[in-house]
Chain A
Amino acid sequence: MMRAFFALLGRDLKLAMRRRFDLLQPLYFALLVCLLTTLAIGPEPALLGRLAAAVTWIAVLLALLLALDGLFRPDAEDGSLELMLTAPAPLPVLVFAKVLAFWLVVMLPLIVCAPLFASMLHLPGTQWLPLLLTLLLATPCLAWLGAICAALTVQARRGGALLALLLLPLTVPVLIAAIGTVDAALQGLPMRSPLLLLGAGAIAACSIGPFACAVALRLGLR
């Protein structure tokens, strides 16, 4: 079982490393969102600083959405999804490997670069740490929600817009909790409890997510 897990994880990481330019895609997309937002609201540092955390979060969310169609669709198109589904290893384990690889390849670079985006948007120094912490704790939840939606749409005719319609409403609570935490830190309020809440969400997502995602993959079969 663990062999299957590592075989799949290793394969996805290797494939990602072979196409290094694709790794940059979510990053430059997020940067573009930041750029356009700044152009739309003007360069005034005080105003930008107030919006910085929110804009960074939206940029990360949209970048995630853009990358999500590539989670299961290539596998469905070349038939390796069928190999996963017929493998003796439990499907939730295989799905976990795929989502972990996705998180490492797409989300982790975004998290690492987020402070850079935020500082370009004049984020106040006190909010750096909260922003990073919320990104770290909330992205597992987002990745699993995204994986479930990607699994549901993998056999559908169109991906992109449909995926946005399915995923974005589901991310509302995560976004509110994350931005709420950053705002609490800005106002000098304790952010321990909202962070714990996000952590609980991450743990719940990682434990329920694989099973839900496996069911979703099997349901959409045809």
Chain B
Amino acid sequence: MAGLNSELPPLLVTRGLAFGYDEHGMFRDLDLCLRPGTGLVLCGSNGSGKSTLLRLLAGLLLPDSGSIERAIEHTTGEPVALAWHGHHLGLKTGLSVIENLRWSGGMHERRRRMTPASALETVGLDGFEHVPTRELSAGQRKRVALARLLLSPAPLWLLDEPYANLDPRGAQLVDRLIGHHLRNGGSVVLSVHRPDQAAFEGPRQLLDLDALP
């Protein structure tokens, strides 16, 4: 399925996944296999279940049936960590930018050789460390959430509509971050409105949720 890295064990596998909102089946018997270094792009019309599938993969929803397995980390024996980026960004407006990065970093561990300051610089928010988050625009907040993603050591990224609310330069930033993450052996599952939105470099699979049986 995944070209180059097909010899590596998959980071994420689903078997026979089924989920329905109040019995109107959204999908069933969904088998996915995500290998390190690949991106899975979910597309489909509104209400086709892109967000639902991402939430299922993140463990934020319980599937009706089927299983979702993440690869096991050798050092800890736990499933590999995942980084979640949803519609609601999980930023506390009462805290400054750096404080927001600190508490989420404290909860999700932090990548070595990456500091909040350098992450903010990468997303183009250098100098904003001590600005209260409530004073940021929607796009800037999105960038803070992207900086949090950069700080996370999780190999698996689950991004719900990462391109929403961003200007073209912001979209390019997302592409750069995803491309970099894939080159480092990480995996990304992301949802988009149109498949051509996701212009990142690297191997990808496309899953059109409208085309499912």
**A–B interface present (Cβ within 8 A):** yes
Distance in angstroms from A16 CB to nearest chain B CB is 9
Interchain CB contact under 8 A, B99 and A83: no
Bits for A1-30, please: 1 = Cβ < 8 Å to B, else 0: 001101110110011001100000000000
Q: Report the minimum CB–CB distance from A77 to chain B (whole Å).
A: 7
Q: Mark B145-184, 1 if CB is under 8 A from A, else 0.
A: 0000000001000100000000000000000000000000
- Asked if B90 and A222 sit within 8 Å, CB to CB, the answer is no
Tell me which of A3, A4, A82, A86 has the highest count of chain B C-beta atoms within 10 A of its own C-beta. A86
Contact B95 A78 (CB under 8 A): no
Q: Which of A59-67, A87-95, A126-134, A179-187 contacts B (4 or more CB under 8 A)?
A: A87-95
Q: Say yes or no: B102 contacts A7, CB within 8 Å.
A: yes
Max chain B C-beta neighbours (<10 A), residue from A82, A84, A89, A221 = A82
Q: In the complex, what's the smallest C-beta–C-beta distance from B112 to chain A, in angstroms?
A: 15
A77 and B83 alpha carbons, distance in the complex (Å)? 19
In the assembled complex, the Cα of A218 lies from the Cα of B94 at a distance in Å of 26
A99 to chain B, nearest CB (A): 16
Cβ < 8 Å to A, chain B residues 60-101 = 60-62, 78, 81-84, 86-95, 99
CB proximity to A under 8 Å, residues B87-140: 87-95, 99, 102-109
In the complex, how many angstroms separate the beta carbon of A54 from the nearest chain B beta carbon? 37
Of residues 83 to 122 in A, which have CB atoms within 8 Å of B's CB atoms?
83-89, 94
Contacts of A78 in B (CB 8 A): 88-93
Q: Is B209 an interface residue (CB 8 A)?
A: no
Q: Is the interface of B mostly helix, strand, loop or mixed?
A: loop
Contact A85 B60 (CB under 8 A): yes
Nearest to B158 among chain A residues (CB) is: A86
A79 to B100, CA, bound (A): 13
A207 at the interface (CB under 8 A from B): no
- The reply to whether B90 and A82 contact each other, CB–CB distance below 8 Å, is yes
Q: Which residues of A contact B78 (CB under 8 A)?
A: 88
Contact with A along B22-59 (1 / 0, CB 8 A): 00000000000000000000000000000000010011
Q: Give the CA-CA distance A94 to B107 in the complex, in Å.
A: 9
Q: Which residues of A contact B55 (CB under 8 A)?
A: 221
Cβ of A86: which chain B residues have Cβ within 8 Å of it?
58-60, 82-84, 158
CA distance A182 to B99 in the complex (A): 44
Task: Specify the chain A residue showing the minimal Cβ separation from B148.
Answer: A83
Given A83-B84, A85-B60, A86-B58, A7-B103 contact (CB < 8 Å) = yes
Name the contact of B84 in the complex, choosing from A3, A7, A82, A221 (C-beta under 8 A): A82
The 8 lowest CB-CB distance pairs between A and B, nearest first, are A7-B106, A79-B88, A79-B90, A11-B103, A80-B90, A86-B84, A83-B90, A4-B107
| 14 other A-B residue contacts (CB within 8 Å) besides A85-B60, A86-B158 | A7-B107, A8-B103, A11-B103, A18-B94, A78-B88, A79-B90, A79-B91, A83-B84, A83-B107, A86-B59, A86-B82, A86-B83, A87-B107, A89-B107
| Chain B residues at the A interface, C-beta cutoff of 8 Å | 55, 58-62, 78, 81-84, 86-95, 99, 102-109, 154, 158
